[in-house]
Amino acid sequence: MNSRFDFLRLNRQLEERREQHILRSCVCVDARTDSQISIGGREYVNFCSNDYLGLSGDPHLAEAWREGIRLWGCGSGASPLVTGLTRAHRDLQDEICDWLGVEDAILFNSGFAANQAVVKALNSKNTVIYADRLAHASLQEASVLSGARYVRFLHNDPASLESKISPQSGMIITEGVFSMDGDQAPLNRLYDIAQRSGNILFVDDAHGFGVHGSEGRGTVDLQGLRHRDIDVIMGTFGKALGTSGAFVAGSKDFIDYMINFSREYVYSTHMAPSVAYATLQAVKIVRSGEHLRRKLGENLRYFKRALEQLSLTASQSVTSIQPIVTGSSEKALQWSRELVNHGCYVSAIRHPTVPKNTARLRITITAGHSFEQIDKLTEGLFACLQLR
């Protein structure tokens, strides 16, 4: 049978991934309560969620979402430039501006879309993008699609960045907290380089917002900088804030430019107003949620001590993201299966999500975990160490 599409090629590529132990597949979660999930009729403690403060199951957020649906219905029905922007969205944007001390903000349905929107709207063949080599896939892809000259500097290495800076105008891209290692960018150094070179500084702080800094303002605040001094800030709601979607914040002129020139913003149905309504409540909870951040810190210290007792090399990360690098993809899968046998769900992260030979268990400790659940994880890791 003739086909215009080479399915044999697709099958070969899938088989190659299977042989390399990097073939991906989706897992269907049947039920979820707090830090527990149910898959295939069995209960597990979830140690791979980005729900860092345990807010996704918060009853106050659930009630706010229901109230948002009562007030606004289920969807926005249009792009924000038509009739998709509601008072619920505007109130959330105003709260973000007050929280971070910035002039303006806009909302997106996901962090991926927000990153793509910023990079593609602000860059062209006349600009240069300088991106940390471990920046998120959404930033890497957008950099290529933008048409700009794309230059990658060594991970968290300001000297590497400085050696590559040219007089041509452009953008420096980094994450606040990197999603696979949990380490933080040296934002003060990057800010200084941006100021001296005249480049825009774009910080994706998806994994820092809600968790770090005063009132959970994120990595920028934690490192002593002001958000209004950073040209572009992106943060997500689907992690520490427990809802979904994302925002981009900066100067009024920048946001006006995005509203006019960002195709992802102009030509996409807007975030559901019920989501914006619930997220506004989430921001308020996070701003006053020092007890949640304190509990997260206690859990992290407890887990770190447990790793030391197992003589496992602990990550330098002080964030919720606590990777254990196994090296080979096969070993990461083996350890992941062993933890599942012990009632703990931890994903094996492999190439191409991370560089080759750096496969890992990406463990996330949240404020929703108990010490008893962390003990269960520790027991599972001890069993992993006995494997051959």
φ, ψ of residue 301 to 5 degrees: the values are -65, -40
- The side-by-side arrangement of strands in the sheet containing 359-364 is 321-327, 359-364, 348-349
CB 97 within 8 A of CB 104: yes
Please, where are the H alpha helices in 165-262?
187-197, 219-222, 252-261
d(CA 194, CA 200): 6
**Chain centre to alpha carbon of residue 213:** 17
**Chain centre to alpha carbon of residue 149:** 25
Structure tokens at 112: 């991926």
Q: DSSP code of 103?
A: S
Residues with active-site annotation: 50, 136, 175, 179, 204, 207, 239
Residue closest to 208 by CA, chosen among 220, 200, 197, 196: 220
Residue type, 101: G
Residue closest to 53 by CA, chosen among 383, 366, 371, 373: 366
C-alpha pair distances (Å), 258 with each of 52, 134, 216, 228, 243: 30, 25, 26, 17, 24
For residue 174, what is the enclosing H or E element? strand 170-175
d(CA 227, CA 4): 51
Structure tokens at 207: 């994994």
Q: What is the per-residue DSSP string for 111-166?
A: HHHHHHHHHHHH--TT-EEEEETT--HHHHHHHHHT-SEEEEE-TT-HHHHHHH--
